[in-house]
Amino acid sequence: MNLSGTVLKGRYCILESVGKGGGGKVYLARDLELGVLWAVKEIPVSGKSEARMLLKLSHPSLPKMIDYIEDDRKCYLVMEYVRGKSLGEYLRDGKRFSVNEIVKYGMEIAEVFSYFHNRKPPVYYGDLKPDNLMLGENGRLYLIDLGGAVNGYKYQHKVCTGTNGFAAPEQYEGKINAATDIYTFGKTLSVLCKKTDYLLFIRNMSLFWLIFRCCMKKPGIRYQNMQTVQKKLNRIQKRQNQSKIKNMLVLSGSSIVFAVIVVFLLFSSNFVSGSKPFNFYEELTAVTDLYYQEEFQNGSKADQEKICKQADTRLRELQKECTEKEESRKILQLLAVNSEYQKSYEDAGLYFEQMLFYDETYRAGYGEYGMFLLRTGQQEASQTLWSEYKSKETMLDDTVSRNLRLWEKEMTEIEEKQ
């Protein structure tokens, strides 16, 4: 039933419906006493816990609750009216968010989540997504719709609302805690990143790493509190500002290659799904974490070489313990990238060859090796690999990567010229 024209409590005149959220419609209403506009959310009486929660919360990023009305069937939450659009609406309109914007929004979300989690009892939001983030005309980001929020300590065994694609795996078991909100936080930032210039994010690997760690399937591997996330975001923002001052230093060709391959490894579907044994991925994460240290990102050449040697040692140790096909190819690919970064091209080539020996059906692996050969001036060797690739094409898996697409394009052009 549309409430347009209805006057609630003899004071709030409903003007029009402006959306839905958390199990109820949201209306725009005029205050007949003050003449100002408010947002009125209509929810079932069974959902009035949202009203009780809003009354206890006070934060600049939360719309203030002004009044509460209840009848036999419905509850009405009269709240501050935020003029603006949700980030979800901006995305659907084709908006491309910059790294600076995403980091800024991430810091604002982390701040309000930190406020939630530090309350006694803590509050877990449970349903973060771009549609629940309203960018006001004043430039502030507002968290709207607390219909899925719950109070509690540690895991709460109850029905927890969430949105498919954003909800953490444990939410489907009726569990929620701080790590759950961190998962939805990572998923939200990931969606905001999707339409942004790819190389721009390659230049900020720390942001990729932050999102990756937040989105781990197993809660114990994610960041465990929002304070840690805030520190990471502050560091990323500081580096962004430093990059502006330095006139946006461009990564060297080998650094971009290194970054692209590491991103591919970290975000491949099999890796993120956690379908392989937990201990292997925990160890591999510890190795890749070395590349995101301050010493590697902004250190001297000697510092970077030292870290590469540490990574090489750890990967070799891991290689002795993990011998399954997919594990071996991931380790060998990282060893190859690590060697190439150190300009040990002969070693890198051997690692790429071993990678394909362990898994000759690894389609993306041919692209990684093929582009390495082209980068190092070995066009003839790349053509030989191309012939092998074409002869095995029907038996190759469906993995893809940016380098695979580039290699296919390069080799096709070479063939056409011959």
Specify the pLDDT at position 266.
52
Give the pLDDT band (50/70/90) at residue 13. Answer: very high
pLDDT tens by residue, 349-392: 888 988 888 788 999 999 999 999 999 999 999 999 999 999 99
Specify the pLDDT at position 245.
46
Measure Cα distances from 287 to 78, 192, 290 in Å. Answer: 51, 27, 6
The answer on whether 41 is annotated among ligand-binding residues is: yes
Phi and psi of 86, rounded to 5°?
-75, 160
pLDDT tens by residue, 32-86: 999 999 999 998 887 777 777 888 888 999 999 899 998 878 889 999 999 999 9
Specify the pLDDT at position 243.
56
Specify the pLDDT at position 240.
72
Specify the pLDDT at position 119.
92
pLDDT tens by residue, 78-98: 999 999 999 999 999 999 898
Specify the pLDDT at position 268.
54
Specify the pLDDT at position 401.
86
Are 61 and 143 spatial neighbours (Cβ–Cβ below 8 Å)? yes
pLDDT-wise least confident of 30-39, 177-186, 234-243 = 234-243
Pick the CATH number of 251-418 from 3.40.50.150, 1.25.40.10, 3.30.360.10, 3.40.720.10: 1.25.40.10
Any idea how long the chain is?
A: 418
Domain boundaries along the sequence of the chain: 7-81, 83-250, 251-418
**What is the spatial distance between Cα 132 and Cα 134, in angstroms, rounded to a whole number?**
6
Q: Answer whether residue 342 shows pLDDT above 50.
A: yes
The DSSP-derived string for 319-338 is HHH--SHHHHHHHHHHHHHH
Q: Answer whether residue 412 shows pLDDT above 80.
A: yes
**What is the spatial distance between Cα 10 and Cα 45, in angstroms, rounded to a whole number?**
20
Specify the pLDDT at position 275.
43
Are 56 and 97 spatial neighbours (Cβ–Cβ below 8 Å)? no
What is the average pLDDT value for the chain, to the nearest integer?
83
Structure tokens that stand for 196 in this block: 């942004």
User: In the chain, what are the helix, strand and coil shares in percent, each to the nearest 5?
Assistant: 55, 15, 30
Q: Answer whether residue 295 shows pLDDT above 50.
A: yes
**What is the spatial distance between Cα 171 and Cα 157, in angstroms, rounded to a whole number?**
9
Specify the pLDDT at position 250.
43
Q: Answer whether residue 189 shows pLDDT above 90.
A: yes
Specify the pLDDT at position 160.
60
Specify the pLDDT at position 271.
44
Q: Answer whether residue 269 shows pLDDT above 50.
A: no
Specify the pLDDT at position 118.
93
Give the pLDDT band (50/70/90) at residue 277. Answer: very low
Domain spanning 83-250: CATH superfamily: Transferase(Phosphotransferase) domain 1 (1.10.510.10)
Q: Highest mean pLDDT: which of 117-126, 248-257, 285-294? A: 117-126
Give the pLDDT band (50/70/90) at residue 111. Answer: very high
**Overall fold of domain 7-81:** Phosphorylase Kinase; domain 1 (3.30.200)
65: left (phi over 0), alpha (psi -120 to 50) or beta: beta
Give the pLDDT band (50/70/90) at residue 247. Answer: very low
Are 123 and 151 spatial neighbours (Cβ–Cβ below 8 Å)? yes
Percent of the chain with pLDDT over 90: 36
pTM above 0.85, yes or no: no
Specify the pLDDT at position 21.
61
Are 251 and 306 spatial neighbours (Cβ–Cβ below 8 Å)? no
Specify the pLDDT at position 244.
53
Q: Return the higher-pLDDT residue of 296 and 308.
A: 308
Specify the pLDDT at position 365.
92
Give the pLDDT band (50/70/90) at residue 238. Answer: confident
Percent of the chain with pLDDT over 70: 85
Give the pLDDT band (50/70/90) at residue 346. Answer: confident
pLDDT tens by residue, 125-152: 989 999 999 999 889 999 988 877 888 7
Q: Answer whether residue 153 shows pLDDT above 60.
A: no
